[in-house]
Amino acid sequence: MSKVTSMRDAVAAFVHDGDVVAIEGFTHLICFAAGHEIIRQRKRDLTLARLTPDLIYDQMVAAGTARKLVFSWLGNPGVGGLHAIRRRVEDADPAPLELEEYSHFGMVGRYTAGASNLPFFPLRSYFETDLPKANPLIRPIRSPFGEETVYAVPPLKPDVTIVHAQRADADGNTQMWGLLGCQKEAAFAADRVIVVVEELVEESVIRADPNRTVFPGLIVDAVVVEPFGAHPSYVQGAYDRDNRFYRDWDAIAREASTTQAWLDEWVYGVTGRAEYVEKLGAERVAGLRPSGEAPSGSVDYGVYK
Amino acid sequence: MSKVTSMRDAVAAFVHDGDVVAIEGFTHLICFAAGHEIIRQRKRDLTLARLTPDLIYDQMVAAGTARKLVFSWLGNPGVGGLHAIRRRVEDADPAPLELEEYSHFGMVGRYTAGASNLPFFPLRSYFETDLPKANPLIRPIRSPFGEETVYAVPPLKPDVTIVHAQRADADGNTQMWGLLGCQKEAAFAADRVIVVVEELVEESVIRADPNRTVFPGLIVDAVVVEPFGAHPSYVQGAYDRDNRFYRDWDAIAREASTTQAWLDEWVYGVTGRAEYVEKLGAERVAGLRPSGEAPSGSVDYGVYK
Amino acid sequence: MSEPRGTAASAAGAAPGAAGAAPGAVGSGLAQGAAAFSKSEMMIVAAARELAGQRVCFVGVGLPNIAVNLARLTVAPELELVYESGAYGAKPARLPLSIGDPTIVTGATAVVSMFELFSFYLQGGLVDVGFLGAAQIDRFGNINSTVIGEYEHPKTRLPGSGGACEIAINARQVFVIMRQSKRSFVERIDFRTSPGNLGGAEAAARIRREEGWLGRGPSVVVTDLGIYHFDDAGEMRLDSIHPGATLEQIRETIGWEPGVAEPLATTPAPTPEELRLIREQLDPEGAYTK
Amino acid sequence: MSEPRGTAASAAGAAPGAAGAAPGAVGSGLAQGAAAFSKSEMMIVAAARELAGQRVCFVGVGLPNIAVNLARLTVAPELELVYESGAYGAKPARLPLSIGDPTIVTGATAVVSMFELFSFYLQGGLVDVGFLGAAQIDRFGNINSTVIGEYEHPKTRLPGSGGACEIAINARQVFVIMRQSKRSFVERIDFRTSPGNLGGAEAAARIRREEGWLGRGPSVVVTDLGIYHFDDAGEMRLDSIHPGATLEQIRETIGWEPGVAEPLATTPAPTPEELRLIREQLDPEGAYTK
């Protein structure tokens, strides 16, 4: 049963106003295409969860889709701050933005607890810091063995998790390589999952290397085929991170007006990712391709009859 | 720096009387070769940890190496009981054997806590069963969020974990495919790690597919190259499970005398795995090869300069 | 059967002959127009039919394995097989002796660590049906696969939980397959390895709810003589008797007076197609069915 | 530097220019026979040298990244780079802007999920050195990378912990790299994101022991002016001053009266080989070092 659909239909069907939405991917495989479609469909009152809100949430916040962020590191990696988010946090401009803050491992633990149906996840972090004061959902827990106390974080179960990957089959069996972040945990934790891929493959490609599968179609609601859908983030083996855009965004986002102009041109002004890529231009796209191939090599699973 | 050594030297250097030893592998990749060398070196008072003690621990218990088992399922899968172990448990013949018993997930959680330096691991199991009464190390733990109580198991940190794998490089960077069991967790949890491989490969083979690496050489103390070292267990892509031996063992192990005779012939009577394989015979070995190849296919990581 | 532990057809693996008919115990069932079939074949067919409409099944070795594969070929073509060894969406080319056979890996949809399998698939609530066998079961479907006798001084040391304990708690429902005998269908089990309906349906439902279990507990027990579901009190009730079996046989092999549905159905005998699939495709050597 | 948040050269990533010298702040250091070098180059070299003998290093982006790569080429050839994004044994072919660049993956020894990285590598105690930067640091090496001002009503919202909090607790030791200024080297930090020596060495050692932390805390702070280690009371002590820097500059850019070692060493200037590696091999475009 094919779950292949368009980005427009996937977002319309599975992302609702007020949802907790996780578009995960630690620098790698961040699905900007889905974020832009959420902006175009003018979803509202979302709680956006991500370890590193990154440019995609700065854009979604600037577009007014979000009322709250759940996160662990708020910045433009290697460049600076996220200005649209900072305007709302520091100056309530144009409205306040609620923050719920953990550390990286705390967020990973939250997804893990959500995926595992556990009421909490324990970790050795937060000792002697101000984080538990800032967030009362970071709580001490006593070990039942000995006297030790560690900290616990509560499960995070997104209403919808959106994952970008190198490939999936029509049922949503998904494979990725390179940095895996916490997409697996975020997907298993979610009520609904949208997978966006560079390439739709036959089921036989997935079954040829079952150890490469990150999660099964069982938990997937929609498969969207959208090449270059992670730009300006990147896809290992397919295209590079567009660091130029990450640097450019710093200037774009410093003012509300330039931010809105950018959204008008690059999000509202295009119908979808295909048009975005066309607008980006063949030269820019070509410049982001890897300079060569680095094949993994093949291993043998053997036939056992 | 090469860690490649012989099985004899690896066991002599890294397995000590009184150690907690984990030879892991869930039906797949069980390192019988290492178990036999431990028997030959007449190690004593070991605590043997494994989810499924399987034939290898039945043999090691019969040979008098162990004083205790830590486990979750005690049997010869698909065949019946482990008779040498049962003689010691039911009849203290020739001596009692201490048992510390969990469920599969409990054992996996114990290794995970050990690998993660956590004082406990929480899981939704054991409710309304007699297991926490039988093992006081299975304890309830209250969630700091809401009223829920789940169960916790304590960390398991073997003195030495022995893992069989398809391949590693000389530094011990290890890759495997097929069923992964909980070898990763058991290895990270251990103080010392011995890796036994079918094939020693160049570092470049490992680095070509970094997502396939199960654990790094950083935690490995010795690399032993011992093809067919998992027999009668199996290695995905290399050889099949020798179900005939699993069935044969049921008769062999029913009496102490036949068990000892088998150990004399197949363990004490050979110098190591190479001789064991020779004794097994080319025909038997050939009969266990897969009937064909099932290649994973190659993926591209891309060159980024 | 020679050893009680042999009856543990749990998902953790069990003797293929054990949960099936003892050697020589060829079924006498003979429905209209149907070929002769063994008691094991009847059990397999009955269990397979119960899987109609199910999606994700946690497979034990032995009879559950063949029943599940028969279901895939008949009433449940969409059924996904999960092996606790870590294979998901397995399409075994042969019936494996153990649940960790290489044939369940090659061509599977996903192969994952046991941490992931137990955490995300089972505890995460993705498993619709878990199969359990046992050495002992009581009227409420509570199961013992640990010891006969006292725990500290066992008369017979059985395999233990394996994954059975967490399957009973986290699989959405549990199917039990085991042969009836006074030694195994008992008034009081010696050790509770896997919780069923505890002391009764009402308390069990409350405890499962309060403690946040995802599983609703046992829903069917398929034996060599009949099919039981659970009544409103949480007790096993004989709903269907296999062709050739009698109520007298049922009562002789059960340690309490079982409830019997009125009217009591007769299990439809295996169809020629079901028998053909078992004998020619799934188990041509008859390892599970003789 | 224009924004306090820019000083957070944490492992979670930071502005490359921020933890380095401000534009135009070219160092005046000139040792015997050595070429001129910038303050950033001196910081990088000093940090790299501190890595001698270390094995596993958790790499932050920016100055830590270049320092660690310089160490691999000079004093610590066996150094393994761990990126919190999940790459272990990375051999980046270029200096990445972010810590999640594809160049750290291709050719790495292992690429693992963040769960595994944080659980087994960091919390499991395999990381010898973690690098942290910060917006604010106090004399005991406690670090703020969360907010300037009140948490609920921040004057400046900084990135937050990222992995810094768990690095400070679980890495065996912590190296800090940051430029000195009265705004960043403060008597009292506004928010404690990452614990250092808390209120002093004795209490910190007791708490770390009692709570089972694997990390011993901060061991060195490398700035644009000098190198600090921690004295018996757990306070930063200036052990070495960079060539060209003065004690007056040190005191003008630090919010308390710092301890100074006697005798105070002068940091050996970058060698021509160190400068060549930085300028020709590691950062030919001068992104981190201008």
Higher pLDDT, B182 or D101: B182
Helix residue spans in B63-149 (DSSP H): 83-91, 104-116, 131-134
The C-alpha of C153 sits at a distance from chain B's nearest C-alpha, in angstroms, of: 7
Amino acid (one-letter) located at B293: E
pLDDT of residue D225: 97
* Reported ipTM: 0.95
Are the C-beta atoms of C121 and C57 separated by less than 8 Å?
Answer: no
β-bridge mates for residue C265, sequence order? C240
Q: Is D94 on the interface with B (CB under 8 A)?
A: yes
β-bridge mates for residue A295, sequence order? B300
Chain A residues with CB-CB distance to C120 below 8 A: 115-116, 184-185, 188
Burial class of residue B133, CB neighbours in 10 A (0-12, 13-18, 19+): exposed
Burial class of residue A91, CB neighbours in 10 A (0-12, 13-18, 19+): exposed
Chain B neighbours (≥3 Cβ pairs under 8 A) are A, C, D
Are the C-beta atoms of D119 and D161 separated by less than 8 Å?
Answer: no
* Residues A48-79: tens digit of each pLDDT: 999 999 999 999 999 999 999 999 999 998 89
Q: Is D227 on the interface with A (CB under 8 A)?
A: no
Phi, psi of D144 (to 5 degrees): -120, 120
Query: Of D84, D166, D235, D274, which residue is the catalytic one?
Result: D84
Are the C-beta atoms of B23 and B11 separated by less than 8 Å?
Answer: no
Q: In the predicted model, is pLDDT for residue A281 greater than 70?
A: yes
Q: In the predicted model, is pLDDT for residue D5 greater than 50?
A: no
What residues of chain D, 50 to 79, have a C-beta less than 8 Å from chain A?
61-62
CB contact under 8 A, B74 and C159: yes
Identify the band that residue D17 occupies on the pLDDT scale cut at 50, 70 and 90. Answer: very low
Taking the C-alpha atoms of residue C15 and residue A158, their distance in angstroms, rounded to an integer, is 43
Q: What is the mean pLDDT of residues D74-103?
A: 89
Q: Is C190 on the interface with A (CB under 8 A)?
A: no
Q: In the predicted model, is pLDDT for residue B228 greater than 80?
A: yes
pLDDT of residue D172: 97
Q: In the predicted model, is pLDDT for residue D162 greater than 80?
A: yes
Q: In the predicted model, is pLDDT for residue C285 greater than 80?
A: yes
> Counting one residue from A and one from D, how many pairs have CB atoms under 8 Å apart?
193
Are the C-beta atoms of C162 and B72 separated by less than 8 Å?
Answer: yes
* Residues C106-142: tens digit of each pLDDT: 999 999 999 999 999 999 999 999 999 889 999 999 9
> B245 by DSSP, 3-state: which?
helix
**Low-confidence winner among B287-301, C91-105, D9-23 (lowest mean pLDDT):** D9-23
For A73-191, strand residue ranges (E) read 98-101, 121-123, 139-142, 149-153, 160-168, 174-175
**Low-confidence winner among A56-65, B111-120, D8-17, D274-283 (lowest mean pLDDT):** D8-17
CA angle (A106, A110, A112) in 5-degree steps? 115
Chain A residues with CB-CB distance to D114 below 8 A: 26, 51, 104-105, 108, 180-182
Q: Is A215 on the interface with C (CB under 8 A)?
A: yes
Q: Is D197 on the interface with A (CB under 8 A)?
A: no
pLDDT of residue D290: 63
Q: Is A197 on the interface with B (CB under 8 A)?
A: no
B57: which 2 tokens? 């621990």
> Counting one residue from A and one from C, how many pairs have CB atoms under 8 Å apart?
76
Mean pLDDT of chain C: 87
The C-alpha of B261 sits at a distance from chain A's nearest C-alpha, in angstroms, of: 33
Q: Is D86 on the interface with A (CB under 8 A)?
A: yes
Chain B residues with CB-CB distance to D91 below 8 A: 207
> C88 by DSSP, 3-state: which?
strand
**Low-confidence winner among D30-39, D89-98, D131-140 (lowest mean pLDDT):** D30-39
pLDDT of residue D27: 41
Q: Which of B86, B101, B125 sits opposite C169 (nearest CB)?
A: B125
Q: Is D281 on the interface with B (CB under 8 A)?
A: no
| Short-list B238, C85, B298, B232, CA closest to A302 | B238
CB contact under 8 A, A208 and B294: yes
> A137 by DSSP, 3-state: which?
coil
Q: Is D97 on the interface with A (CB under 8 A)?
A: yes
**Low-confidence winner among A43-57, C26-40, D187-201 (lowest mean pLDDT):** C26-40
Chain D residues with CB-CB distance to A148 below 8 A: 211-212
Radius of gyration of chain D (CA): 18
Report the 10 Å Cβ neighbour count for D276. Answer: 13
Distances (CA, A) of B50 to A171, B25, B27, B181, D183: 36, 8, 11, 11, 56
Identify the band that residue C290 occupies on the pLDDT scale cut at 50, 70 and 90. Answer: low
Mean pLDDT of chain A: 97
Amino acid (one-letter) located at D45: V
Chain D residues with CB-CB distance to B116 below 8 A: 119-120, 123-124
Taking the C-alpha atoms of residue A7 and residue A64, their distance in angstroms, rounded to an integer, is 20
Q: What is the mean pLDDT of residues D116-132?
A: 97
Mean pLDDT of chain D: 87
| Residue recorded with tokens 């806590």 | B113
* Residues C220-243: tens digit of each pLDDT: 999 999 999 999 999 999 999 999
Q: In the predicted model, is pLDDT for residue C202 greater than 90?
A: yes
Distances (CA, A) of A200 to A194, A222, B141, C72, D81: 14, 12, 45, 26, 34
**Domain residue limits, chain A:** 4-41+157-288, 120-153
Identify the band that residue C9 occupies on the pLDDT scale cut at 50, 70 and 90. Answer: very low
* Residues C258-278: tens digit of each pLDDT: 999 999 999 999 999 999 999
* Residues A156-184: tens digit of each pLDDT: 999 999 999 999 999 999 999 999 999 99
Stated pTM of the model: 0.95
Are the C-beta atoms of D44 and D63 separated by less than 8 Å?
Answer: yes
Higher pLDDT, C128 or D1: C128
pLDDT of residue C58: 93
Phi, psi of A210 (to 5 degrees): -60, -25
Q: Is A105 on the interface with D (CB under 8 A)?
A: yes
Identify the band that residue D164 occupies on the pLDDT scale cut at 50, 70 and 90. Answer: very high
Q: What is the mean pLDDT of residues D179-202?
A: 97
Q: What is the mean pLDDT of residues D151-163?
A: 95
CB contact under 8 A, C120 and A216: no
Q: Which of B145, B291, B302 sits opposite A237 (nearest CB)?
A: B302
Identify the band that residue C17 occupies on the pLDDT scale cut at 50, 70 and 90. Answer: very low
pLDDT of residue D13: 34
Chain A residues with CB-CB distance to B139 below 8 A: 144-145
CB contact under 8 A, A134 and D123: no
Q: Which of A103, A130, A184 sits opposite D191 (nearest CB)?
A: A130
| CA quadruple D93, D94, D98, D101: dihedral sign | negative
Q: What is the mean pLDDT of residues D51-70?
A: 89
Q: Which of C98, C114, C154 sits opposite B77 (nearest CB)?
A: C98
CB contact under 8 A, D105 and B217: no
Phi, psi of A106 (to 5 degrees): -60, -45
* Residues C144-194: tens digit of each pLDDT: 999 999 999 999 999 999 999 999 999 999 999 999 999 999 999 999 999
Helix residue spans in chain D (DSSP H): 39-50, 63-73, 114-116, 164-170, 201-210, 247-252, 272-276
* Residues D220-263: tens digit of each pLDDT: 999 999 999 999 999 999 999 999 999 999 999 999 999 999 99
Q: What is the mean pLDDT of residues C36-55?
A: 95
CATH class for domain B4-41+157-288?
alpha beta
Q: In the predicted model, is pLDDT for residue D16 greater than 50?
A: no
Query: Of C84, C166, C235, C274, which residue is the catalytic one?
Result: C84
The C-alpha of B26 sits at a distance from chain D's nearest C-alpha, in angstroms, of: 20
pLDDT of residue D285: 83
Dihedral of the CA atoms B23, B24, B27, B33 (nearest 10)? -30
Q: In the predicted model, is pLDDT for residue C5 greater than 50?
A: no
Phi, psi of B50 (to 5 degrees): -175, 145
Q: Which of D93, D111, D125 sits opposite B210 (nearest CB)?
A: D111
DSSP summary character for residue B292: B
Higher pLDDT, C10 or D138: D138
| Short-list A78, A178, A231, A238, CA closest to D104 | A178
pLDDT of residue C92: 84
Q: In the predicted model, is pLDDT for residue A1 greater than 70?
A: yes
- The question of whether D84 is a catalytic residue gets the answer yes
Q: What is the mean pLDDT of residues A19-47?
A: 98
